[in-house]
Amino acid sequence: MTNLIILPILLPLIAGTLFVFWRKRLPFVRTGAQIVSIMNLLLTTFIMYKVIQDGTIILETGGWIAPYGIILVGDLLSVSLLVATNIIAVAAAFYAPYTLDQGREEHYFYTFFLMLIAGVSGAFLTGDIFNLFVFFEVLLMASYGMIVLGGTRQQLRESIKYVLLNLFSSILFVTTVSFLYSVTGTVNMAQLSERVGQVNQDGILTTIAILFFVVFATKGALFPLYFWMPHAYAKPPAVISALFGALLTKVGIYSILRVFTLIFNGNVDYTHTFFIILAGFTLIFGVVGAMSTNNIKLIIAYNIIPAIGFMIMGVGIFTEGSLAGSVYYLLHDMIIKGALFMLVGAVAIVAGTSDLRKISGLIKQYPLLGWLFFIATLTLAGLPPFSGFIGKLLLLKGAFENGHYVIGAVGLITSLLILVSVMRIFLNGFWGESMTLPTKTRSIRPLYFPITFLLIFSVVLGIGAEWFLPHIQQIGVDLMDPSIYVDTILKE
């Protein structure tokens, strides 16, 4: 049964490789990618069920026992993120055929897409820090492929910055892993968690911790390392933006959650205060960016940044409740960012432009699109009963209960500004004078299915909070007590 845990990586990897050979037979590859992603979703849901029933699943590859070999760990946090990833994947697989042009599809979009899913799944599942780097590279290589796919001038321009920055942070990642190895003599996360407490080298370990933070903050687009992100995410076609916005930065946040609860939890006063300050700036600068632009795709891309601020705020406050809040917000944000990018893509198709000043009065011709967008807006801003509310509630409760009033206030104000920034799209784009739409646009009816699919999950995550919350609070408890993770893996 433990072999089950490698399937979410293996299935898309094999399918993606096979699809290279059938690139000209698009209908086949499309259905193939859809079937694989649905299978993967069912599989990960089953794994999540098993994990909730029987506890953490560990796969020791090649039979090497825990601290020596490569291990895959499916605990509740990893597995719930896996399910969220595959929900996005299913939606993207059904969204892609109707929004991409034939050239992009033929040039291995589905291969890159499945590789990306494999890489993200691997990063969530891996139990040693060097393999985290490897899976980061797997997903980054797939994302490099996707970001240049089509090769328009703007894409090439932004992708160079994207690739260079990620390459630099990857090199920093390897360097930091090697520092950590020289201090502790291991790369296994569970063993690291034990040894970091024993080696008694606070200065060096704090330096390594901050270096790790710089790496993950770059990948996760945190202040002040977010500058590369909005343009790089907004330039490719909508489905690729949706995948990036929903998955890529979130892997960085997952790594911060994992590394700074499991390994570097010794010097909390220093590192976690630092997080709270950065979270505040991330919230403010992200929202300012979102307010400043008239490009609808950029507005959504900038909105990724304050969401990341919220999650880091939870890590900074560092209580069971706030960590649970971070995880809840992470799950919510993956789904809603996917949905929003897809919605904005649909708007850009019907309006023929993504410049907000040229769009108006869409709701008369496309009422369903308008109302879906409205729901997504409310969810993003965290209004009850939608899913953003509960995550934010947990985070703000954590902030005010532990005396972090400033960050709490910043969080509340930015929530409001997020609402304003996205409402601008709704007010300008959907209300007002009915614009003359370009005549030769594709039908967007097939796009409603994946968008509604994502929004349903988002609403269920909010309304069914009673059902999800105990599990997510359990994740918070697990994260606060690293010995649970360590004992499950090292079994001593």
- Compose the 172-201 pattern: x for residues touching another protein by CB under 8 A, - for all others: --xx-xxx-xx----x--------------
Helix (H, G, I), strand (E, B) or coil at 299: helix
Does residue number 137 form part of the binding site for another protein (CB under 8 A)? yes
Which of the stretches 7-15, 31-39, 143-151, 310-318 binds another protein when contact is defined by CB under 8 A? 143-151
CA dihedral 16, 20, 22, 27 (to 10 degrees): 50
Q: Which of 34, 169, 282, 295 binds another protein (CB under 8 A)?
A: 295
Amino acid at 17: T
Q: Which of 20, 35, 167, 427 binds another protein (CB under 8 A)?
A: 167
Least distance between another protein and beta carbon 175 (Å): 5
Q: Which of 50, 130, 452, 481 binds another protein (CB under 8 A)?
A: 130
Least distance between another protein and beta carbon 481 (Å): 29
Burial of 275 (0-12, 13-18, 19+ CB in 10 A): buried
Could you give the CA distance from residue 430 to residue 372 in angstroms, rounded to a whole number? 11
Could you give the CA distance from residue 304 to residue 299 in angstroms, rounded to a whole number? 9
Which of the stretches 107-115, 140-148, 255-263, 325-333 binds another protein when contact is defined by CB under 8 A? 140-148
Which of the stretches 23-31, 154-162, 190-198, 253-261 binds another protein when contact is defined by CB under 8 A? 154-162
Helix (H, G, I), strand (E, B) or coil at 214: helix
- Rule CB under 8 A: which of 317-356 touch another protein? 355
Q: Alpha carbon of 206 to those of 139, 140, 323: distances in Å?
A: 28, 27, 21
Tell me the CA end-to-end span of the chain in Å, nearest whole number. Answer: 22
Q: Which of 159, 193, 322, 414 binds another protein (CB under 8 A)?
A: 159
Compute how many other C-beta atoms are within 10 angstroms of the C-beta atom of residue 468.
17
Burial of 171 (0-12, 13-18, 19+ CB in 10 A): exposed
Least distance between another protein and beta carbon 136 (Å): 10
Q: Which one, of 366, 364, 300, lies nearest residue 333 by Cα?
A: 300
Could you give the CA distance from residue 401 to residue 279 in angstroms, rounded to a whole number? 18
Amino acid at 122: G
Contact between residue 322 and residue 275 where contact means Cβ atoms under 8 Å apart: no
Shorter beta-carbon distance to another protein: residue 174 or 427: 174
Contact between residue 261 and residue 482 where contact means Cβ atoms under 8 Å apart: yes
Which of the stretches 35-43, 94-102, 126-134, 252-260 binds another protein when contact is defined by CB under 8 A? 126-134
Q: Which of 35, 164, 199, 204 binds another protein (CB under 8 A)?
A: 164
Whether the bond into 367 is cis, omega within 30 of 0: no
- Rule CB under 8 A: which of 214-243 touch another protein? 231
Q: How many residues bind another protein (CB under 8 A)?
A: 37
Which of the stretches 161-169, 271-279, 378-386, 454-462 binds another protein when contact is defined by CB under 8 A? 161-169
Least distance between another protein and beta carbon 203 (Å): 17
Least distance between another protein and beta carbon 362 (Å): 19
Could you give the CA distance from residue 258 to residue 42 in angstroms, rounded to a whole number? 25
Q: Which of 168, 371, 449, 467 binds another protein (CB under 8 A)?
A: 168
Q: Which of 45, 206, 294, 402 binds another protein (CB under 8 A)?
A: 294
- Establish how many alpha carbons lie within 13 A of residue 189's alpha carbon, considering only the half-sphere containing its beta carbon: 32
Q: Which of 43, 141, 460, 484 binds another protein (CB under 8 A)?
A: 141
Q: Which of 293, 360, 474, 488 binds another protein (CB under 8 A)?
A: 293
Which of the stretches 91-99, 105-113, 271-279, 290-298 binds another protein when contact is defined by CB under 8 A? 290-298
Q: Which of 298, 305, 347, 455 binds another protein (CB under 8 A)?
A: 298
Shorter beta-carbon distance to another protein: residue 141 or 463: 141
- Put residue 484 in one of left, alpha, beta given phi > 0 → left and psi -120 to 50 → alpha: alpha
Compute how many other C-beta atoms are within 10 angstroms of the C-beta atom of residue 227.
14
Could you give the CA distance from residue 436 to residue 20 in angstroms, rounded to a whole number? 42
* Positions that interact with another protein (CB under 8 A): 130, 133-134, 137, 141, 144, 148, 151-154, 156-161, 163-164, 167-168, 170-171, 174-175, 177-179, 181-182, 187, 231, 293-295, 298, 355
